[in-house]
Amino acid sequence: MEIAALVFVAVGAGALGSMLGLGGGVILVPVLSLAFGVKLQSAIAASAISVVANSVSGSQAYLRLRYTNIRLALVLVTATAAGALAGGLLVVSLPTGLLRGIFATFLLAISILMLARRTASARAAPGPVRAEDPFVLEGRYADGPSSTVVQYVPRRLRAGLLGSSLAGVMSGLFGIGGGPITVPLMTLVMRMPLKAAASTSGFMVGLTASVSAFVYYNAGFVDPSVTVPVLCGIIVGARGGVRVATRLRPDILGRLFIGVMLALSALMFLDAFGVL
């Protein structure tokens, strides 16, 4: 019964994670530890492994559809990895309660900004591709059932790199993955369509999570009786999430993303004030 419930929760986390580029860890860790009584270390390890599974599974389809901008992902994830290393070092010397409060406020501000702008993808609607793209980071894919061609060139690469390293620092500090920062960064600052941003972020999150998951494995935190059912659910959810994301209108996907961000922000506030 408990295994079935674990699989069921993981299906939901996998679907949301692959649709929104968040990886699913933000949902799994609190649910596994609070609802299922799994040891926090095992919950974090299972979550990190399932984020990798989610990314590997979802990215196969997104790469085929060309939603994922792989060149941009490799560039940005380098900054994220460097930031994550710095975050891992900072975590021992900074008051995390205060940081969680600041981060929760930051997430709330991003959600409000995205809400105010309606959908970032609408603002980043396909326009003429600028001639200046020295690193050939342009993206092009067919969107939705009508296969509308969406073409874009990510803007403000420097700001993107800076933001990605910040996402890495946050990831190292709180272990939530960089998705809640990189997706808004790519849509609001780099003006990418939301679907491209979410799938590119999903690919990046998998890369960074693979290192932390390996560390957890080596430390003996992985419990196969929790990880295996979660993995099974994540795979089903991720595949379903890809199908839904390719059919969903960008504005609906945007609203869903904002909803998850607001929920995450509320969770972080509760955690910062010691309620959780």
Partner 1 sequence: MIASRRRAYLASASRRRAYLRRQRLWTTVLYRWAGRVLSIGFWAAFALIGFGLLVAALRGEPVGGEVETLDRVVPDAVRLHSQGLIDLGILTLLMTPGAVVVVALVISIRGRDRMLALVTSALLLMLVGSVVISLL
Assess 43 for contact with partner 1 (CB under 8 A). Answer: no
Among residues 5, 56, 91, 262, the one that binds partner 1 under rule CB under 8 A? 56
Phi, psi of 207 (to 5 degrees): -65, -45
- x/- mask, partner 1, residues 227-256, rule CB under 8 A, reads xx--x---x---------------------
Q: Which of 30, 41, 210, 248 binds partner 1 (CB under 8 A)?
A: 210
Is residue 10 near partner 1 by the rule CB under 8 A? no
Minimum distance, C-beta of residue 117 to partner 1, in the bound complex (Å): 29
**247, exposed or middle or buried, with CB in 10 Å at 0-12, 13-18, 19+?**
exposed
Least distance from partner 1 to the Cβ atom of residue 235, Å: 7
Is residue 49 near partner 1 by the rule CB under 8 A? yes
Using CB under 8 A as the binding rule, whether residue 55 contacts partner 1 is answered as: yes
Nearest to 192 by CA among 139, 141, 240, 244: 139
Instruction: Kindly provide the residue ranges of all beta strands, DSSP E only, lying in the chain, ordered along the sequence.
Output: 139-143, 148-152
Q: Which CB sits closer to partner 1, 146 or 218? A: 218
List the interface residues with partner 1, window 78-107 (CB under 8 A): 78, 81-82, 85
Cα separation, 17 vs 183, whole angstroms: 12
Rounded Cα distance between 79 and 72, Å, is 11
| Binding of residue 202 to partner 1 (CB under 8 A) | no
* Closer residue to partner 1 in complex, CB, 3/112: 3
Question: Considering the rule CB under 8 A, would residue 155 count as an interface residue with partner 1?
Answer: no
Q: Quick one: which of 18, 57, 246, 265 contacts partner 1 (CB under 8 A)?
A: 57
Minimum Å distance from CB 120 to partner 1? Answer: 24
Question: Binder to partner 1 among 118, 127, 156, 214 (CB under 8 A)?
Answer: 214
Q: How many CB atoms lie within 10 A of CB 227?
A: 23
Name the token pair of 233: 């659910």
Minimum CB–partner distance for residue 170 and partner 1 (Å): 17
Q: Taking a C-beta distance cutoff of 8 angstroms, is the pair 184, 178 a contact?
A: no
Q: Which residues contact 56 (CB under 8 A, 6 or more apart)?
A: 206
Taking the C-alpha atoms of residue 7 and residue 14, their distance in angstroms, rounded to an integer, is: 10
Stretch that binds partner 1, among 7-15, 27-35, 65-73, 117-125 (CB under 8 A): 65-73
Q: What tokens appear for 21 in the block?
A: 């580029």
Q: Helix-strand-coil percent breakdown of the chain, rounded to 5?
A: 75, 5, 25
Residue 41 as a binder of partner 1 (CB under 8 A): the answer is: no
Buried/exposed code over 135-154 (b: 16+ C-beta within 10 A; e: otherwise): eebebebebeeeeeebebbb
**Candidate list 4, 109, 126, 225; residue touching partner 1; CB under 8 A:** 225
Where do contacts with partner 1 occur on this chain (CB under 8 A)? 49, 52-53, 55-57, 59-60, 63-64, 66, 70-71, 74-75, 77-78, 81-82, 85, 132, 134-136, 206-207, 210-211, 213-215, 217-220, 222-225, 227-228, 231, 235
